[in-house]
Amino acid sequence: MEAACTKSFPPILDYKTEKYVLTKNRKVGVFLRLLHLGILCYIIGWVFIIKKGYQESDSDPHSSVITKLKGSSITKDPQEYQQSLWDVVDFVKPSQGENVLFLVTNFISTPRQVLGLCPESPLILDGRCGEDLDCQPGEHVISGNGVKTGRCVALNSTHSTCEIYAWCPVENESLIRKIPLNEAENFTLFIKNAVYFSKFRFSGANTLKTLDDTYFKSCRYDPVSSPYCPVFTIKNIITEAKNSFEELSFLGGVVRIDIEWKCNLDQAKVCKPQYSFGLQDKNNNFRTATYYWDKERREHRDLLKLYGIRFEISVTGEARRFSIVPTAATLLCDLILLYLDSKASFYWECKYEEAKPPKRQQAQESIDNHDETSNND
């Protein structure tokens, strides 16, 4: 049998398979079957059902994000700033279309500043003084607005500050609006996101195909009733981030919007996004200015310190699809040889060999078994 098993066709046409030796040992056999059962439960339960190990995956999608915010608001006191109407051009910084945007919810306005001499703000510690010696000429005010001239100027009976060369008058933090632009909580944010999984050459988008032209104008995201609508109200985003718009609108904050794609390309190419929200930080602001010249050709500027909510959009995802693992080919060939081939019995005898003890040991075991039977009788 051994000679017949080793005889083969030309080596290039050989099919190599593993050979097994059968051992008659009940204890090892039971232990082996228990191991097989545990491995089988692990493979079926964890690998196949939970982790879907029969699928190959792509967890590095190419992504594009386009945002569009809509809304407008009117400031309550037009004298604070020359523009009484705020629209998306004023509200959104930077301009629309990025995966990061800043929504203005409050501001401090310092209009018609001009380069000149004026007192530093009393809120700046390094700008406070008791006499001229506290204001060294040419020294920059730490965290302040300009350069000291050498004079200490009395603002009122309790405060004196250094005179500085700066854009005057300097910004006054106490003029922050006590009533923020609360209309912004009803603004809508449209997020258009597309992903492409290059490994499978599959692309998806969060804008569902629909024949209703008014769908995106009327739908609003809701995690229960409308989880795939890409139009969000600002208030809803803040609420989902476990915070309140009223709290964040005064001094601003940073909110994270996560879009996660879970794509199973085996189930009719199911590929839909899931949204989650979280608050990353509080108190967020920056300054911006508009420059112009008056009739006397003097340069002026309108300074705005803008408080608001910064939205940061991140996209992650994973696509999975069935794949025949390399060992499946070997398993299939073995099944054909051992069960379907016309010489299956021959291949079976070659692949599985029973391990038998030497003849002397067999004879002794036979005598022992006979004696044990006699004693029982």
Interacting residues of 101 by C-beta distance below 8 A, sequence separation 6+: 67, 69, 92, 93, 94, 310, 311
**Digits of tens for pLDDT over the chain (377 positions)?**
455 555 555 666 666 666 666 667 677 677 767 777 776 676 666 556 655 555 677 888 888 888 888 887 776 554 444 556 777 777 777 665 568 889 988 888 899 999 999 999 999 999 999 999 999 999 999 999 999 999 999 998 888 999 999 999 999 888 887 777 778 888 999 999 999 999 888 888 988 777 777 888 889 999 888 888 999 999 999 999 999 998 898 999 999 999 999 888 887 677 889 999 999 999 999 898 999 998 888 999 999 899 999 999 999 999 888 776 544 555 666 667 667 777 777 766 776 666 666 655 555 555 555 555 555 55
| Residue 15, pLDDT score | 61
| Residue 170, pLDDT score | 94
pTM of the model: 0.69
Question: How many angstroms separate the CA atoms of 113 and 360, rounded?
Answer: 112
Kindly give the pairing relationship between strand 231-233 and strand 253-264.
unpaired
CA nearest 162: which of 171, 152, 147? 152
User: DSSP state, 293?
Assistant: E
Whole-angstrom CA distances from 354 to 20, 23, 24, 51, 349 are 9, 6, 8, 38, 9
Whole-angstrom CA distances from 312 to 29, 91, 327 are 59, 16, 44
As to burial, measured by CB atoms within 10 angstroms (0-12 exposed, 13-18 middle, 19+ buried), residue 126 is middle
Q: Which tokens go with 10?
A: 């030309």
CA nearest 354: which of 36, 19, 7, 4? 19
Other C-beta atoms closer than 10 Å to the C-beta of 286 total 14
CA nearest 180: which of 251, 256, 274? 251
* Helical ranges in the chain per DSSP H: 2-6, 26-41, 88-91, 215-218, 234-240, 245-251, 326-335, 344-351, 359-376
Q: Helices (H) and strands (E) in the chain — how many of each?
A: 9, 17
Question: How many angstroms separate the CA atoms of 36 and 30, rounded?
Answer: 10
CA nearest 95: which of 63, 73, 66? 66
Whole-angstrom CA distances from 48 to 51, 119, 199, 277 are 6, 73, 21, 31
Given the structure tokens 């006397």, which residue do they identify? 296
Which residue type does 352 have? Y
| Residue 168, pLDDT score | 95
Question: How many angstroms separate the CA atoms of 8 and 124, rounded?
Answer: 93
Other C-beta atoms closer than 10 Å to the C-beta of 91 total 23
Catalogue all structural domains in the chain, each as residue range(s) with its CATH number: 2-54+323-370 (no CATH), 62-120+170-321 (2.60.490.10)
Which residue type does 329 have? A
Kindly give the pairing relationship between strand 253-264 and strand 299-322.
parallel
With beta carbons less than 8 A apart as the criterion, state whether 145 and 121 touch.
yes
